[in-house]
Structure formats: structure tokens, C-alpha cells
A and B are shown apart, each in its own frame.
Chain A
Amino acid sequence: DVKVTQSSRYLVKRTGEKVFLECVQDMDHENMFWYRQDPGLGLRLIYFSYDVKMKEKGDIPEGYSVSREKKERFSLILESASTNQTSMYLCASSSFPTGGQGAGNSPLHFGNGTRLTVT
């Protein structure tokens, strides 16, 4: 079974701090994603990566950066945390689409989330 592990369940940081959120998956998946989840807004994609050292902006990349030095690890970085970045952060992974129905056969596998509070 696919396991996506986020290093921290809860995190409290101060405004202006540099924050690292770590995610590791154990199924050799090519694709990894960072979402933030806010009440009433669902999940919004921050960044994703489809290969080592590759990254693509999602819908809300401002104030964030990412790093993928190894296939199994995808880090989200808040360069200077702000209170409006208080949220639940979810990491996900998926395999590279194969077969006739491509991406449909590669659903997302999620970690349990990191609840970040910035004070």
C-alpha cells in the first residue's frame, strides 16, 4: 500500500520565519504535489513536480517554493511565513500515467496533512 508521510502533524511558527514542510513517499511515484486545504475553498494546488529537480507552479504559488532533490522526497518551503499561510497542507503523490486511460489510472495518494499555524 502506498504510504505518503508528512514529517509534522502540527507546526507553530512565527511571522517571518522560514518554514520547511517535508513529504516522503515510498512507492517510487514520479509525481508529487503540495496542496493547501482551507474551509470552504477545498484543496488548492501550490506546486507539483513530475520528476527529480523539476517543478511546476500550481494555482497559488506566491509565497512558496519547493525542492525535489530525490524522487521520494518533496519539500515545501515558506520563505517568510505570514499569518495568511496558516492552513492545512497536504502532500500527495501519483504514478506516471500508463495504459489506455492514462492519468485516470493514477489517482492521488495523500499524506495525513500538516496543520501549520503562523502567529
Chain B
Amino acid sequence: AQSVTQLDSQVPVFEEAPVELRCNYSSSVSVYLFWYVQYPNQGLQLLLKYLSGSTLVKGINGFEAEFNKSQTSFHLRKPSVHISDTAEYFCAILDTGGFKTIFGAGTRLFVKA
């Protein structure tokens, strides 16, 4: 069975501070890894993805994530957050031969002035 665990349900942070949102996954097969973001009253949109190659991937809005195979983690980072980054962030996996994307429970990021 596959699963995704997001270690923090809520992360409050001050504007311009760095942030890390943690994600661990479990899978017996190879997977692709994704981070999606959901702004208030909207659907989800893709932030970044890891398919292969360099373990550090860059996404939109200054976010990046690092894939660590030995720790089965895919943590999301941003060096300096803005108020507009306030949203819910979802880590997800998709096995390389499948259709079903498995999502974590989400992490609510609150950026305070």
C-alpha cells in the first residue's frame, strides 16, 4: 500500500521568514512526487514535481523541494515567504505505471505580517 504523511497540519510563520513543509511517503514501487497548492476558495494547482535526476527541484513562486530516497522524504522549502503564500499545501505521489495520485492530509501555511 502507498501512503503520504505530512508531518505538520498547520505552520504559522512571519512574513519574510523561511519555511519548510515536511512530507514523508511510503511505497513499494517507484513513484513520482508532487507538491500542489490550494489557495482559498480555489482548486489545487501544481507547485512542482520530481520525476528523476537532480534531487532538488524548483517550482513556481520561489518554492523548491528536495527528494531524499533513503529517508523517503520530499520536503518543500521557501527561503522567504510572503503573505500571498498563505494556502494549503498537499504532497502527493503517483506510481510510475499508474493513474491514482495519493495525497497527504495537507499542511495549512499561515503567513503573518
**B-binding residues in A (CB < 8 A):** 4, 31, 33, 35, 40-45, 48, 50, 56, 58-59, 90, 92, 101-105, 107-108, 110-113
Q: Which single residue of chain B is at the shortest CB-CB distance from A50? A: B99
19 contacts between A and B (CB under 8 A): A41-B105, A42-B103, A42-B106, A43-B103, A44-B103, A48-B100, A102-B96, A103-B32, A103-B97, A104-B94, A104-B96, A105-B51, A108-B36, A108-B44, A108-B46, A108-B101, A110-B44, A111-B43, A112-B43
With A101-B52, A104-B49, A107-B34 given, is the CB distance from A45 to B43 under 8 Å? no
Are the C-beta atoms of B51 and A101 separated by less than 8 Å? Answer: yes
Q: Give chain A residues whose Cβ lies under 8 Å from the Cβ of B49.
A: 104, 107
> In the assembled complex, how far is the CB of residue A100 from the closest CB belonging to chain B, in whole angstroms?
9
Q: Give chain A residues whose Cβ lies under 8 Å from the Cβ of B43.
A: 4, 90, 92, 110-113
Report how far A105 CA is from B94 CA in the complex, Å.
Answer: 11
Partner of A40, one of B52, B94, B98, B105: B105
| Total number of residue pairs linking A and B with CB closer than 8 Å | 65
With A41-B105, A42-B105 given, is the CB distance from A104 to B51 under 8 Å? yes
Are the C-beta atoms of A103 and B105 separated by less than 8 Å? Answer: no
Extra pairs beyond A41-B105, A90-B43 (18, CB < 8 Å): A31-B99, A33-B101, A40-B105, A42-B103, A43-B90, A45-B101, A50-B99, A90-B44, A102-B96, A103-B94, A103-B96, A103-B99, A104-B94, A104-B96, A105-B51, A107-B34, A112-B42, A113-B42
Q: Give chain A residues whose Cβ lies under 8 Å from the Cβ of B45.
A: 110
Number of interface residues of B (CB under 8 A): 28
For the complex of A and B, the 9 pairs showing the least CB-CB separation, nearest first, are A110-B43, A104-B32, A104-B51, A42-B105, A43-B103, A42-B103, A110-B44, A101-B51, A107-B46
Report how far A117 CA is from B99 CA in the complex, Å.
Answer: 29
Q: Give chain A residues whose Cβ lies under 8 Å from the Cβ of B99.
A: 31, 48, 50, 56, 103
Report how far A29 CA is from B38 CA in the complex, Å.
Answer: 22
Report how far A90 CA is from B44 CA in the complex, Å.
Answer: 9
